[in-house]
Chain A
Amino acid sequence: MRSRSNYPIQVIAAGFLVLVFLSLSLFWASWLCKSILADIMPMDYRTVDIPPSGLLPAEIESDPNVLQQTQVHAHIISPEAPQTLGIGNYLSDKAPEGRHSRIYYLELEGEDSAWVYFDGRIGQINCRWANVEKMPDGTSMRKNIQFYVGPEGVSEIPDKKLGRFNPVVVDFGSTPLILYDIKLRRFFAINFKDRIVTKGPQLSEDDPRRPVDIGILSKNPGILDMYWMPPDIRRTHIPIRERSKDYNPDRYVLVLDESGQIDLLDRETLEFAGTAGRLPAPETFFPADKRVTPGDLLAYRVLPLALKEDHKYRGLFAASVSREGTSLALAVFDEKGKCIESRITRDNSQNVPSSSAVFFGTPWSPVITIGKFLLENLHPPILSLASYFTAGSIEAASGHRAMFLLPNSFIAMKGRDARGNIAARFLYALFLILPSIILAILLAMRVGKDTAVVGLPQKTRSFWTFGTLAFGPAGYITYKLTRPKITLVTCANCGKQRRTDTGICHQCGSKWNVPELTPPAWRVLNG
């Protein structure tokens, strides 16, 4: 029964379990608060309309015969949708045509299944479909065609001469398939029908562009919806979204850069043809940087505009949802990439951005917000501070699944605040976790007193005091679980509680004495 020698290991084990269970419980409680806040968010907090949309010629925009003008509409569906959770995100990502899926196309038909996928083992794209061939005698024969595509060409067998694609960013919807190889830093166009691979020029070393998305630029489509309504003489009409077939600006493909800039890529030359716009920055609770990157946004959608008549690129609409899912920005960019209109979600009655109004502007929202605030303050102070310092570095969608750090907490929002000096921001952040700090201090004092009573060595006492100060309730619970089970009795000399497993009283230093036992003075020993 050797328990003292591995005491640090027990403490770490118990502490980790406490942290996991406490964090999980707080996560769900917080998620409930955020879901309620999202549910009670009125429509105008999550909807932006821009009528007229502004990209069509003036004569169309102001045609007196239309009953319905052009309009671009974006709204937040639900920021706490299941796909923000890990399980939803995992399944949707891995599904064919998912965000990080390597399966670009899949049709399961048993023997006649067709697919296009990236085989990471050989670094080549594997493509197969069933082809119907007409025979000389008039009958038709189904034949499965399969081939492999690499940077250097196409082959019916996996051939090293085809080269190897590295991590790629792919436009699923385009024909030919356009992809960007991150390592080779060039675009490729793959025509499966003619089995041709077209290479674009390699981006120069000093080109700052780092494409992260091509073609249909969309993140978390379940959270954000956007559509454009063309002018119509009828009251009701069908809105147009980015996947509508008639709506494809066929000369260009949109490319989203990691900085948030949107560029145009010429399909034929595979070269950049100019800037198309950038992702708009939604308002946040504490004003953050005006330039946002895809990683800063919970969701975005970009809709290029081209008319059926000429398929000429006329500009694009870009909508983005803030990290916390409480604010939406919609912007319109013309064909030269200039922003001609941009709006954010607001509480129109009070003219306050929705990112602030959502917490206090609706009935019951202050109560829920206070609940959220208090739950955040039950989190270990050290992790809250870590959330402050790492506020901007956690990817927005992952932030909704974070357990130990809180990228969507008030303190993290303050960490992303672009105003004021560093010291003022930090003090404000400490103010935001003041209840947590007070609780940690009170618990640390209790723990400190108890460790003194129990007679733990000074080093251990300091460890527990500072540990509880850093981890708050988690540290306190861990201490209670791992507190040495030592019997304490009243010392006959000093009257304080003393340990029974030491030869002297750890409070007054007096020798061992058990006054309640009165053994006889005589002994009959030895022999």
Chain B
Amino acid sequence: MNDNVIKVENLVKYFDGRCVLDGINLTVPRGCIYGLLGRNGAGKTTIIRILLGTEPATRGRTFLLDTESTNLSPAIRGRIGCVAEGHNLIQSYKVGRLIKLCKDLSLQWNDESFDHLMETFRLPTDRRVKDLSMGMRAQLNLVLAMAIDPELLILDDPTLGLDTVARRQFLELAIEVIQQQGRTILFCSHILSDVERIADRIGILAAGKLVVDCPLEQLKERVKKLRIIFPESPPENLYLTEIVNQQIHGREMTVTVANWNQQKQAILETFKPSSCTEIPMSLEDIFIECTRPGAEPVQVA
């Protein structure tokens, strides 16, 4: 059995002449919680849809549980739980009927887990899906995805529409799943604090490329934001490679650098700065820095 539950090889996707994904290579090992991040329109949902076989790729291949996405058998699909963006449910059905349909079609159904979740979320079974609030639909989607005891859970903005309490409940659920051996989660969300709490590997999409794909802790170590004060005006060129972002304010320069190492440290020291302080960054800060357009130094008045 391959250790990589999800594999994306050289994925290219065009929508009506507009390139969204330009050669994405990605692997998610078994037992990993992978947080896939990106700005709106970066292609996160597109990758998930291609992985699930609902969208054809323009070029490249994707694999789920060692099976190509275009050939996913019912047995493989039965091992995957999915919460799609927008909570795609059959709107005209009553909740009870929808649950029965999913239960009848699923290969395994954990009644205990299902009942526990239904009790937790207190979802009405006699109401139509279209009459539920956005949050309740999200909860229902989650319940249906979790009730099958999935080996792989794919969550595309699962907490969209959930209130704070529900969001916390969901996170705790996700942690519960994590604790079960061998489970893998692919998780997209705009609420980075949630991602930071549970993810152990991060991927960031920008301009059609996967610019970040590494463990979370490593990301925090390798991307550094520094406040440098020079005795006189800052030099025009620091001769540092992989500058993510740079801002100059008088004698002060704030620079974000990727893959910070001793070599770059040494280069910086040659300019004899008055002071050099590291600004601690959360995942959200790193994300903003990485996805800010352009790496030209910005002169702030």
Residues of chain A whose beta carbon lies under 8 Å from any beta carbon of chain B: 1-2, 487-489, 500-503, 512, 514, 516-527
Contact = CB atoms under 8 A, between A and B. Distances in A.
A514 B22 contact: yes
Contacts of B242: 521-522
B58 interface: yes
A513 to B, nearest CB: 9
B53 A1 contact: yes
Given A2-B70, A524-B212, A524-B213, 18 more contacts: A1-B70, A488-B17, A489-B14, A489-B19, A500-B12, A500-B58, A501-B58, A501-B59, A519-B22, A519-B207, A520-B290, A522-B242, A522-B243, A522-B258, A523-B209, A523-B211, A524-B214, A526-B214
Candidate in B14, B210, B242 with the most chain A CB atoms within 10 angstroms: B14
Given A1-B56, A527-B214, A519 B209 contact: yes
Contact of B59 (A502, A519, A520, A526): A502
Contacts of A517: 19, 22, 207-209
Interface of B: 12, 14-19, 22-23, 53, 56, 58-59, 70, 206-215, 218-219, 222-223, 241-244, 258-259, 290, 295
Contacts of B215: 527
A519 B206 contact: yes
A65 B12 CA distance: 102
Contacts of B16: 487
30 contacts: A1-B56, A487-B15, A487-B17, A489-B14, A489-B19, A500-B12, A500-B58, A501-B12, A501-B59, A512-B23, A514-B19, A517-B19, A519-B22, A520-B295, A521-B241, A521-B242, A522-B242, A522-B243, A522-B244, A522-B259, A523-B212, A523-B258, A524-B213, A524-B222, A524-B223, A525-B210, A525-B212, A526-B213, A527-B214, A527-B215
B56 A522 contact: no
A518 B59 contact: no
B36 to A, nearest CB: 14
A342 B53 CA distance: 77
Contact of B259 (A2, A514, A516, A524): A524
Contacts of B19: 489, 500, 514, 516-517
A345 B111 CA distance: 88
Contacts of A519: 22, 206-209, 211
A489 B18 CA distance: 8
Contacts of A516: 18-19
B111 to A, nearest CB: 34
Contacts of A522: 211, 241-244, 258-259, 295
Contacts of B207: 517-520
Given A519-B209, A522-B258, A527 B17 contact: no
